[in-house]
Amino acid sequence: MIQVENLCKHFEIRHRHKNSWAVLRNFLKRDSSTLKAVDDISFSIQKGEMVGYLGPNGAGKSTTLKMLTGLLVPTSGRLEVNGFVPWQSRQKYVAQIGAVFGQRSSLWWDLPTIESLELLQHIYKIPTARFSSNLEMFKKLLDLDEFLQSPARSLSLGQRMRADLCAALMHDPAILFLDEPTIGLDVVAKQRIREFIQQINQDRGTTIILTTHDMADVQKLCTRAMMIDHGKLLFDGALSDLQNRFGGQRRLIVDFEEPPTQLKLANATIISQEALRITFAFARETRVAELISALTRDHAIRDLRVEEPEIEATIRAIYEGNLLSA
Amino acid sequence: MAHSNSCVHLTYSSVRLFWEITKRSLQRHLTYRTATITGLITNLFFGLLRASVLLALLSGSSSANGWNAQDIVTYVALTQALMVVVSVFGWSDLMNTVYRGEIAAELLRPTSLFLFWLAQDIGRSLTALVTRGISIMLVCYFVFAIKVPSSFGQWLVVLLSLGLAMVISFAFRFIVNLAAFWSPDARGMARFAFIALGFASGFLMPLRFFPDWLQHVLALTPFPHMMNSIIEIYIGSSDARVIEILGLQVFWAVTLTGLAQLILARATRRLVILGG
Amino acid sequence: MMLYRHLLLAQLRGAMQYRVSFVLDVLSTSLITITEFGAFALVFSRFQGLGGWSLVQIMFLYGMVEFAFGLTDMLFDGFDSPTFAQHIRKGTLDQFLLRPANLMIQIFGSSLSLRRIGRIVLGIGIFGYAVIHNPQVWQLEKLWYLPFVLIGMGLYFGGLFLVGATITIWTVDSTDAMNLFTYGGKEMMSYPMGIYSDWLRVLFTFLFPVALLNYYPALFFLGKPDPFGLPAWMPFLAPIAGFVMFLVALKFWQFGLKHYQSTGN
């Protein structure tokens, strides 16, 4: 469905100077540098996949997304989506994709939501029968009835996102691009959007690519995650793989019956101790059973549990520590 | 003793505050350099067109109602130089803060809202005068040989008249902007006021060329004192009436400022009652 | 075309929600024309004429430009540089590009400054008054040419708006400079070209074909001789000048879009 080979997008950054002498010199000799927003990325996505595209701000996520949707022309590399080169046959291509940019609405600001949808029917030339059956279905799934007659400007953020999702799907796109679809929403609204996205993917086989900062989005929705930073694709695979490879240390939290004496464990270190509770950290490959049996041999234990590191923490560690490129 | 001291201190600090606001406003406006240059060229081009029309009207006769060709060119240069200084095209900053709800925070400040905005506006005006006004006058002086006041005394009254015009123009615009407290459509209404300002202040055409009856009607309004009066004094075509003109300018500056305070007080009360 | 109609109707429905401010807008834009032309007409009474033109003759020029410019300004509102700069900044241009419809039609349909109706109606009024009071115009073969002149002006100004929009892809500081050509050109065309200095007139006849658009046609309609002795076919260049301008602007627009798609914003 999506084929990307050695995709690059470089931007020329011109340096601006404050004083007029430098401006003049600039005019004669261009003072610029190249920013590699996307640097030699390759991947392919199959029909029906749901892929999370991750990376810190300015990593190259939206540049990639813009190229995939035909808004930007790559500097070099090959890019084919659903048999099209996006920027070459724009009008034909965009008829087959849907896109929601979380921060921007595609609805007409002053028009009742339903009229925006009707205008989109004309733009996408959607047959009336299909339009009404889709509308019926989305009305149910997204609870649109409560605000279908209100203009976009008066919708809450959650309502607007629901309306925008509906707008992006009315023409049955084969691929759906979602740029931060849950940004700024409360927990309930987020959950609702996620369930809807999942359902669309399952029922219609729509290929979905989403960028997000909310790891819960990826955890709940995506079987596959791609991570990009400084324009380079750092990771491409299952989210659990990411966790396994970079999740760092796990934790064992133990409640003792009485203050333990001469506490020592091979392969684990104590990272905190409060009253009768002691927390150990241990490497991913260490077997928990061994640790526990070593503990229970010498001490009376009331309770214990093992904690996986949070995905958020893993991601943060990757961003900050450049774990992947190292 | 202590009392009078604190009084002195108070006036000093408010003058100081006024100056600080003005200075910052100046600095902010001075940063847009390229915009200033294209603005200057556009301004001169429009001036050229307007002067062409007026001079073509004059052609044949040596003067019209007391103005000769040089006076006319000087008139055009002055209007082009001053239009931003006295905001002929209007101003709605205050209105915008009302609509954005920021006005409530401004009313909490321990300074007069009128003076606070006046200081900002003077800063804006002075920048316009320094960047656009003076450069336009200089270009016109060297290229079109416009008139220049002949004595120090005349320069002084011109500047005095200009200062008063700034205050009158500001007070008028302030009052118009206050309409935002009462109506959500004040923007549209303000536009009428500013179009009237362009016409009645002598910006579109010299008031002196209007039919006599219209001149008499306009003389009863504050509009001529926002632009036309400065021009008359600068060109020197109303030398006998300088004191009278300045007197009227003072009258309008005081009246409109007072009126602005009155309306502002009502607007504030309204805001308090309606809760923003 | 169907799509354009749908989009425009949507704009209208949106605008009609703010009826009071819409009416105020229409009235105030009318007032601009009224005061500008009014000031000129009031002053005119003190003088003998303007470069050999009577007031009703000038009204012919003035009304024609006011109408043509007002109409173009209204239709091309989506391309007006401040509006278009918003399209770029707020990402609406990207939205347009993500839809399977002609881009220009979407921009045309994205906004319509209906408030210009006031200027358009007044332009027609001034022009109509001028036609009635200039009997030289009352000839069928002359009136037949009139629509072509108006179309020429529309294309010229439309082209200017298109150029202005394209420039905002690189810099948003262009508004002032563009005003020189749009509003400046319109201002210039409102009066007979003979009143301007020679260099200005030559510049705006041959480099920017402003004089070809309505001054020479007006000479033809009003049966006035050309004071500059240019060939007799000068009045008939108006549609060609407008067409060429629009074509050049269109090329520039396409070039600008290509740049936009390679750099984004």
Tens-digit pLDDT profile for residues B108-163: 887 888 999 999 999 989 988 887 899 899 999 999 999 999 899 999 999 999 99
Say yes or no to pLDDT of A26 above 60: no
Asked whether residue A172 falls in the same domain as residue A225, the answer is: yes
Q: Establish if A14 belongs to a structural domain.
A: no
| Dist CA A189 CA A161 (whole Å) | 9
pLDDT score recorded for residue A286 = 83
User: Does any CB of chain A come closer than 8 Å to the CB of residue C91?
Assistant: yes
Confidence of residue B34 (pLDDT cuts 50, 70, 90): low
CATH number at residue A158: 3.40.50.300
- Which residue among A244, A260, A276 closes a domain? A244
Owning domain of residue A288: 249-308
CATH number at residue A257: 3.30.70.250
C99 to chain A: closest CA residue: A94
Interface of A with C in 219-248 (CB under 8 A): none
pLDDT score recorded for residue A18 = 52
Tell me the mean pLDDT in the region B176-196. Answer: 92
Which chain C residues are Cβ-neighbours of B53 within 8 angstroms? 40, 50, 191, 195
Asked whether residue A216 falls in the same domain as residue A261, the answer is: no
Q: What is the DSSP letter of B92?
A: -
**Across the interface, which of C44, C184, C194 has its CB nearest the CB of B49?**
C184
Which chain C residues are Cβ-neighbours of B191 within 8 angstroms? 24-25, 28, 31
pLDDT score recorded for residue B10 = 57
Say yes or no to pLDDT of B8 above 70: no
Q: What is the DSSP letter of A17?
A: -
**Across the interface, which of C32, C43, C44 has its CB nearest the CB of B195?**
C32
State how far residue C95 is from chain A, nearest Cα, in angstroms. Answer: 7
Which chains lie within 8 Å of chain B at 3 or more CB pairs, if any?
Answer: C
ipTM: 0.91
pLDDT score recorded for residue A292 = 86
Hey, are the CB atoms on C195 and B189 less than 8 Å from each other? no
State how far residue C77 is from chain A, nearest Cα, in angstroms. Answer: 17
Q: Number of Cβ pairs closer than 8 Å across B and C?
A: 100
Sheet hosting strand A32-45, strand order edge to edge: A32-45, A2-14, A76-81
Q: Provide residues of C within 8 Å CB-CB of chain B.
A: 20-21, 24-25, 27-28, 31-32, 35-36, 38-40, 42-48, 50-51, 173, 176-177, 179-180, 184, 187-188, 191, 194-197, 200
Question: How many separate domains does chain A show?
Answer: 2
Angle, vertex CA C6, rays to CA C3 and CA C7, nearest 5: 85
Asked whether residue A237 falls in the same domain as residue A257, the answer is: no
Q: What is the DSSP letter of A252?
A: E
| Dist CA A319 CA A311 (whole Å) | 12
Tell me the mean pLDDT in the region B229-245. Answer: 92
C196 to chain B: closest CA residue: B52
Q: Establish if A229 belongs to a structural domain.
A: yes
Say yes or no to pLDDT of A21 above 60: no
User: Does any CB of chain C come closer than 8 Å to the CB of residue A131?
Assistant: no
Asked whether residue A98 falls in the same domain as residue A72, the answer is: yes
Min mean pLDDT across A20-29, A207-216, A219-228 is at: A20-29
User: Does any CB of chain C come closer than 8 Å to the CB of residue A72?
Assistant: yes
Share of chain A above pLDDT 70, in %: 92
Asked whether residue A239 falls in the same domain as residue A255, the answer is: no
**Which stretches of chain C drop beneath a pLDDT of 70?**
172-174, 264-265
- Which residue among A244, A278, A294 closes a domain? A244
Contacts of B199-202 with C-beta under 8 Å, sequence gap 24+, read B199/C35, B199/C38, B199/C39, B200/B224, B201/B86, B201/B88, B201/B226, B201/B227, B201/B228, B202/B79, B202/B227, B202/B228, B202/B231
State how far residue C239 is from chain B, nearest Cα, in angstroms. Answer: 25
| Dist CA B58 CA B62 (whole Å) | 7
The token pair that represents A264 in the structure block: 């020592």
| Dist CA A67 CA A73 (whole Å) | 6
Give the residue among B119, B127, B128 at the shortest CA–CA distance from B84.
Answer: B128
Say yes or no to pLDDT of A170 above 80: yes
DSSP secondary structure string, A113-174?
HHHHHHHHHHHHT--HHHHHHHHHHHHHHHTGGGTTTSBGGGS-HHHHHHHHHHHHHTT--S
User: Does any CB of chain C come closer than 8 Å to the CB of residue A264?
Assistant: no
Q: Establish if A27 belongs to a structural domain.
A: no
Hey, are the CB atoms on A104 and C10 less than 8 Å from each other? no
Confidence of residue B208 (pLDDT cuts 50, 70, 90): very high
Asked whether residue A207 falls in the same domain as residue A150, the answer is: yes
Say yes or no to pLDDT of A323 above 60: no
Which chain A residues are Cβ-neighbours of C14 within 8 angstroms? 108-111
pLDDT score recorded for residue B33 = 63
State how far residue B10 is from chain C, nearest Cα, in angstroms. Answer: 43
Asked whether residue A82 falls in the same domain as residue A203, the answer is: yes
Asked whether residue A118 falls in the same domain as residue A226, the answer is: yes
pLDDT score recorded for residue B4 = 44
Tens-digit pLDDT profile for residues A35-93: 889 999 999 999 999 999 988 888 888 899 999 999 999 999 999 999 999 988 888 99
State how far residue C115 is from chain A, nearest Cα, in angstroms. Answer: 17
Most C-contacting residue of B52, B62, B197, B203 (CB-CB within 10 A), to test interface: B52
Confidence of residue A314 (pLDDT cuts 50, 70, 90): confident
Strand-pairing partners, residue A251, are A281, A307
Confidence of residue A324 (pLDDT cuts 50, 70, 90): low
Q: Establish if A320 belongs to a structural domain.
A: no
State how far residue A203 is from chain C, nearest Cα, in angstroms. Answer: 24
Q: Establish if A144 belongs to a structural domain.
A: yes
Asked whether residue A280 falls in the same domain as residue A160, the answer is: no
CA dihedral C50, C56, C57, C61 (to 10 degrees): 100
Hey, are the CB atoms on C2 and A122 less than 8 Å from each other? yes
pLDDT score recorded for residue A283 = 82
Contact A226, A45 (CB under 8 A): no
pLDDT score recorded for residue B3 = 45
Asked whether residue A258 falls in the same domain as residue A227, the answer is: no
Contact A324, A247 (CB under 8 A): no
Which chain C residues are Cβ-neighbours of A108 within 8 angstroms? 10, 14
Residues contacting A281, CB < 8 A, separation 6+: A249, A250, A251, A252, A268, A269, A271
Asked whether residue A77 falls in the same domain as residue A193, the answer is: yes
Angle, vertex CA C155, rays to CA C186 and CA C12, nearest 5: 90
User: Does any CB of chain A come closer than 8 Å to the CB of residue C261?
Assistant: yes
Asked whether residue A167 falls in the same domain as residue A304, the answer is: no
Say yes or no to pLDDT of B256 above 70: yes
Q: Output the average pLDDT for chain B.
A: 88
pLDDT score recorded for residue B32 = 61
Angle, vertex CA B267, rays to CA B264 and CA B268, nearest 5: 85
Helices (H), chain A: 20-28, 61-68, 90-94, 113-124, 128-142, 157-169, 187-204, 215-221, 239-246, 288-298, 311-321
pLDDT score recorded for residue C104 = 95
Phi, psi of B3 (to 5 degrees): -65, -50
Q: Establish if A319 belongs to a structural domain.
A: no
